[in-house]
Structure 1
Amino acid sequence: MPNERANSIDALGQLLFTRYSAKRIPEKDLQGLGIPSSLYAANWRIRTDIKHPEDGKTIQLIVAARPSFPFSVPHIYTHPELEILKYPHVEERGKLCVWGDEVSFDPQDITYVEHLIKDSHSLIEETISGNLDDDFSVGLLSYWSRSFKTSSKEKKATSLCNIRNLTTRKIHVAYESNKGTVFADTEKQLKSWLTNIGIKSNQKFCSTTLLINLSEAWKPSEYPTNLGEILSILESQYGDPVQAAEAITIVLGSSRRYPAFLIQTNTPNGAVITAMNCVGGIGTRGHAGLLNLYEAKIGNGFRDSIIPQRFLNTRCIQLGVRGIDIERRDPSWVLGRDSNSFLSTTSGTTIGIIGLGSVGSSLLPLLIKAGFTRFVLCDGEPLEAANVGRHLLGMSYVGVNKAEACKRHIERDYPWVEVLHAGSQEWFEDDTTIDLLTTECDLMISATAEWASDKAIQERIESGKLKCCVVFCFTEAHAVATHCYINKAGSFSYGSLFDNTGDLLESCAKFEHRTTKPTHFCGGIFQPYGGIELSFGHSMIAEAVTELACEGIQTDSYRVWVGSRKLLLSAGGEWSHSWEQKYGEIDDGSKVLKVL
């Protein structure tokens, strides 16, 4: 392998010399160019006819081949280097960002480097001429993060704010030493997030701050350096110095010495959240959230009288600001980077799940990733070690009630999710659970496969106390088929699939032997199957629930995932002839059958 790499480097050198008269750069000369020699296997210099805009010298392209060439594209540097943040697509030490992630190449044909060099030459010409200045907006976060220095100990801030709200507004913020700074639109949202990640919120580190919305993105030369420039932006937005002063007070009145605030910027690729903090220290005694600056507070440097506008301007100009690293963790970004069309509907839908076993528990992460955020969970049993092989939860939750354990798990891993209630009894024995299922849930999922529970649901439907649609789901023996029946509101048509004792009238698979196995407890049995067999059914059910939430139904819907014939035969079964006569051939399986 080392010889192959060396041969590739030699071939590249020959190509560059033949096409561009490129000369290899000795390692000792790289230090003078500011290029770290340890990162590259070899470097070549190519002369161009482009004049550097600052000193008029002819720009050279430095082709730096990485040790993994030809499977990784060489880096291209400019010398003399173009100034970072003055020209788009320029990184540290004059390195060019030439090809984006969408560009593909054939690593077995190294002539792709010719296209790279041609594109580099064109990029330099375009960026020097100013034709690419709009790209500062397109790639805003790259340039923003390069405009300030961060220490290895500095934690990235977190934004939970709704980017669809295009207004300048007061928001809430927590300054937490271990998790960093967290911004949220509301106090409830902030406290819920902190609780779910294991932090008890308190007034010592919770405060209010400002989110400023900009209609156009700044270029790097326009990045603010002091709070006075922020005040000027607010004055321009409001057209009223009093309103601008009230807004800036939310920052100045922070309980923190170095308060942070958000900047929301609209770009061609959608809204972007960035953040800044004050670096000089505001020296207040803490008046977070006070909007009326003109009621001066002792401790801010004034007596109880009006603060003149000119003093406010001076104070803001003297207070430096800098950018800070921030990461969006709001559902719109996490669940599809603002491209999930389901979210507007699913995020407002509350789902009740009865039964958090092998089917119900594994639906949770799929439903959350579809955008559902509010749940009522019910299960009367604790997790056992033998459940782990086909359950969402692992060994750390053994012995914990399944509903309560699922609540802990999803709220920790998906902190924006809210579990309204985790019932640890049979749902029809718990008045609190019954009330929440019937009054709060927009739809329900019954995943118990227990006839008594399903009949209790029927009773609630027929009495008019349960008015939402119910999704019933269960598996056949050895999980060779997973059924999903959507029972429209006001009926119990699902019951027509079973006899009076809950036996399925028509199954997909037929077995001539007993499919359950006894446990070591009196009367105990279990159905042998694993998590792989179930996974396809989980996806089918989650898709059906999402369609129900987004589109609704006029009639019942019934679909079945049938596993492979190979799985069926390995379990000693065959497809049911009566099922196939009624609903159609199953053949080799591994597909969804839409029965209704």
Structure 2
Amino acid sequence: MHKVPSAICNEIDLLLSPYGARRLSSKEIANLITQSALFGWQITTSLVYKNEPVVINLLFCDKSESQIPIIAVAAPEIEPCEIPHIEEHGRLCVWPSRYIVDKKNNSYILELLSDAEALLKEAFDGNLDTHFEDEFQSYWAYHPQCTKKTLSLCDLERTSTRLIATFESKKLGVIMADSSAQIENWLDNQGLLPTHSKKKIRRQFLNRIEKSVLLQLKHTWRPTDFPNTAKELFSIIKKEFADQYFEIATMLAISLTKKTSEIPTILVQFNTSNGVALIAIHFSRSIFRRVNRRAIIDGFRNEMPLSHFIERTSTIKITGGAINRADKNWLAGRDSNPSHKIVGQHRIVLIGCGSVGAAIIRLLIQSGFTDVVLIDFDKYGTENSSRHILGLDSFDTYKATALANKLGREFPHISINAINKQWQGDAIARTSISRADIILSCTGDWQSDQSLLQFQSEEELGVIVFAFVEAHAIAGHVIVNPPNSNAFNSIHYVNGNKIGTLITPCTTWPHETIQKIPACAGEFQPYGAIPLTHLQAIAAKTILSLVLNPSEKDVLPYIKIWLGDRSELEKLGGHWNHNWISSFGDPGFGNKEVTLIFEKQKWKEKYV
């Protein structure tokens, strides 16, 4: 049970009495515009700022005591951006939100007050001014802001100021990218562009893509540097790019020739000690917009000298803007996942877009794959919903197309293509497979897999990874099959009446596990979505390992196997297979991963 406020107040009164703290009255609390405080204290510090003693408020805003109290400067008045770490209404950012204290011991309050006073002293002395740069975006938020939604696809690892592409609509706001093709791919994946069959309408949409500029500045702005007019921005450019002023200023001029928007937008990038900071700058007008019946371009037909342009645009007001980043570096790990660059260089083809493969490919896209081909000739049925990442809204559509549409909307930066045919007889599918770095087969279809192995042998394809489950998905297998390794076929019967079945399955069942349905040749293997998750994760990790840690020579064949819960196995009437136990050991209670390696045409467990 939490202590009542009166009891807490009495304890804190005693704690703060040596510091001359005064408890705020209920009227004073009510008049505060900082927070909806419940109770608080006012303390006069030993600090002086603007020739006034610094007074701070210690405010409790949560009756449950789950939050650390707020420190706010009550006097003198300090505006945000005047010194670092001051927010609106004098609130002081002392500790990060993840800071943990023992709330049962109120002595933490003394630590908070001490840290607050030390922080203010350092700020008053100018010792924290570099924090304006390190935490740039927090202070930029206090600059006059435009609420226009802006999305950047630009590669921020490119260290150059350059012309970029921009597209604007009422629904999306502003999209900015390194090329018009990048924007086109994004819009296609979002389903916002007319199809290629509607050439004229599609062209009209794409004609709205115009040029803008991304300025990469060497020096991160402090609040006193924030520009308010185009003239101030040109001055910054002249200072930053003395040798390239004409070139960079020309790029900025091109950005202001935007015809499809009355408010042109550019991007500005800073590389701070805490990472990349990216912002938008919105201009109040383009050179074509008429104000008082006049436009900046009036009097010039084809071109305007840069000096005239700068003079005529000098009074254009500019406002700041926040950016939502959607570039590959950010989406694949907030600029902290260097492996995505390697992963993104590889093409992967998925054959079989069912419940196993669909989730694996999504994990791989989240890990950095951006060049993806999906192949499946089957349509999505209502019964698939219990274990597929697609839902009923995909009913009666081809799985490959439905999955490509879903993943394209979720990850519009990728290149994803769907082929709704059996790959064996389709030239486009075969070409896609032959050009892939990794081929993932999740069909669970013996004939398809055998054709794929033959194709691998004939065409010297890349590595094939097979993923499939045993009965009830109690066990799942991920097989890495390099060319001519015989890994996949070595664990299966390849002839006779058992052809296509595992020689040594992990599980054994006294009854048939396949369920029949009242239809010709209708049957299915019952299991839900949860038993698949381990297999899907193992398959995705295996493929990433192949890409990130390739062998200096040929990749060796191996198998990753997930062995599920023994109690679930026995509940369904099955047991661990005795032949598996004698060959690779007793799985015991299960819930474990086993790795088998293929040496001298024989599988054996690899102990890590």
Provide the TM-score with structure 1 as the length reference: 0.91
Is residue 166 of structure 1 aligned with residue 159 of structure 2?
yes
Question: What secondary structure sits across from 1:146 in the alignment?
Answer: coil
Out of 336, 345, 348, the residue aligned to residue 345 of structure 2 is 348
C-alpha contact 2:164 2:177 (8 A) present in aligned 1:
yes
Map 1:61-76; keep pairs closer than 5 Å: 61-76=56-71
Question: What secondary structure sits across from 1:587 in the alignment?
Answer: coil
Question: What secondary structure sits across from 2:92 in the alignment?
Answer: coil
Is residue 18 of structure 1 aligned with residue 12 of structure 2?
no
Aligned to 2:186: 193
C-alpha contact 1:356 1:379 (8 A) present in aligned 2:
yes
**Identity value in percent:** 28
Aligned to 2:197: none
C-alpha contact 1:60 1:79 (8 A) present in aligned 2:
yes
Is residue 449 of structure 1 aligned with residue 450 of structure 2?
no
Aligned to 1:505: 503
Aligned to 1:572: 573
C-alpha contact 2:34 2:91 (8 A) present in aligned 1:
no
| Most deviating of 221-230 and 123-132 | 221-230
State how far apart, in whole Å, the 2-side matches of 1:282 and 1:593 are. 66
Unmatched segments (≥5 aa) in structure 2: 194-201, 598-608
Question: What secondary structure sits across from 1:318 in the alignment?
Answer: coil
C-alpha contact 1:467 1:490 (8 A) present in aligned 2:
no
Aligned to 2:470: 476
Aligned to 1:218: 221
State how far apart, in whole Å, the 2-side matches of 1:161 and 1:68 are. 46
Is residue 586 of structure 1 aligned with residue 581 of structure 2?
no
Out of 112, 134, 137, the residue aligned to residue 138 of structure 1 is 134
Map 1:20-35; keep pairs closer than 5 Å: 20-30=19-29, 34-35=33-34
Aligned to 1:380: 377
State how far apart, in whole Å, the 1-side matches of 2:402 and 2:154 are. 28
Is residue 227 of structure 1 aligned with residue 230 of structure 2?
yes
Is residue 494 of structure 1 aligned with residue 488 of structure 2?
yes
C-alpha contact 2:184 2:206 (8 A) present in aligned 1:
no
C-alpha contact 2:297 2:304 (8 A) present in aligned 1:
no
Aligned to 1:291: none
State how far apart, in whole Å, the 2-side matches of 1:11 and 1:381 are. 72
Task: State the shift of 1:192 in Å.
Answer: 1.4
State how far apart, in whole Å, the 1-side matches of 2:531 and 2:237 are. 58
What per-residue deviation string (whole Å, max 9, x for no partner) do you get for residues 476-533 of structure 1? 1111111001111354431111112211111111112211111121222211111111
Task: State the shift of 1:591 in Å.
Answer: 1.4
Aligned to 1:246: 250
State how far apart, in whole Å, the 1-side matches of 2:306 and 2:516 are. 82
Out of 384, 391, 394, the residue aligned to residue 394 of structure 1 is 391
What per-residue deviation string (whole Å, max 9, x for no partner) do you get for residues 135-154 of structure 1? 1122111111111245xxx3
Is residue 282 of structure 1 aligned with residue 287 of structure 2?
yes
State how far apart, in whole Å, the 2-side matches of 1:404 and 1:34 are. 54
Aligned to 2:265: 260
State how far apart, in whole Å, the 2-side matches of 1:34 and 1:359 are. 55
Task: State the shift of 1:15 in Å.
Answer: 4.6
> Are the structure 2 counterparts of residues 64 and 243 from structure 1 closer, same or farther at C-alpha, using a change threshold of 3 Å?
same
Question: What secondary structure sits across from 1:387 in the alignment?
Answer: helix
> Are the structure 2 counterparts of residues 157 and 304 from structure 1 closer, same or farther at C-alpha, using a change threshold of 3 Å?
closer
Out of 356, 361, 367, the residue aligned to residue 359 of structure 1 is 356
What per-residue deviation string (whole Å, max 9, x for no partner) do you get for residues 346-392 of structure 1? 11211100111110011122111111111111112111121111111
C-alpha contact 1:486 1:557 (8 A) present in aligned 2:
yes
| Most deviating of 156-165 and 20-29 | 20-29
| Most deviating of 186-195 and 12-21 | 12-21
Is residue 467 of structure 1 aligned with residue 461 of structure 2?
yes
Question: What secondary structure sits across from 1:60 in the alignment?
Answer: strand
Out of 529, 542, 545, the residue aligned to residue 543 of structure 2 is 545
Task: State the shift of 1:315 in Å.
Answer: 2.3
| Most deviating of 238-247 and 583-592 | 238-247
C-alpha contact 1:380 1:423 (8 A) present in aligned 2:
yes
Q: Which amino acid aligns with 2:367?
A: A
Question: What secondary structure sits across from 2:62 in the alignment?
Answer: coil
Q: Which amino acid aligns with 2:432?
A: L
State how far apart, in whole Å, the 1-side matches of 2:350 and 2:145 are. 48
State how far apart, in whole Å, the 1-side matches of 2:318 and 2:296 are. 22
What per-residue deviation string (whole Å, max 9, x for no partner) do you get for residues 248-305 of structure 1? 22222222322000001010011111110112543359xxxxxxxxxxxx97133358
Question: What secondary structure sits across from 2:241 in the alignment?
Answer: helix
Aligned alpha-carbon RMSD (Å): 2.1
Map 1:66-145; keep pairs closer than 5 Å: 66-80=61-75, 81-145=77-141
> Are the structure 2 counterparts of residues 309 and 410 from structure 1 closer, same or farther at C-alpha, using a change threshold of 3 Å?
closer
Out of 309, 318, 324, the residue aligned to residue 312 of structure 1 is 309
What per-residue deviation string (whole Å, max 9, x for no partner) do you get for residues 538-573 of structure 1? 111100011111122421121101112122212212
Q: Which amino acid aligns with 2:65?
A: P
State how far apart, in whole Å, the 1-side matches of 2:516 and 2:304 are. 81
State how far apart, in whole Å, the 2-side matches of 1:34 and 1:208 are. 44
Aligned to 1:292: none
| Most deviating of 532-541 and 563-572 | 563-572
C-alpha contact 2:479 2:487 (8 A) present in aligned 1:
no
Task: State the shift of 1:424 in Å.
Answer: 1.6
C-alpha contact 1:70 1:108 (8 A) present in aligned 2:
no
C-alpha contact 1:126 1:132 (8 A) present in aligned 2:
yes
C-alpha contact 1:5 1:67 (8 A) present in aligned 2:
no
Aligned to 2:413: 416
Q: Which amino acid aligns with 1:83?
A: E
Q: Which amino acid aligns with 1:503?
A: T
Task: State the shift of 1:199 in Å.
Answer: 2.2
C-alpha contact 2:94 2:116 (8 A) present in aligned 1:
yes
Aligned to 1:147: 143
State how far apart, in whole Å, the 2-side matches of 1:266 and 1:306 are. 35
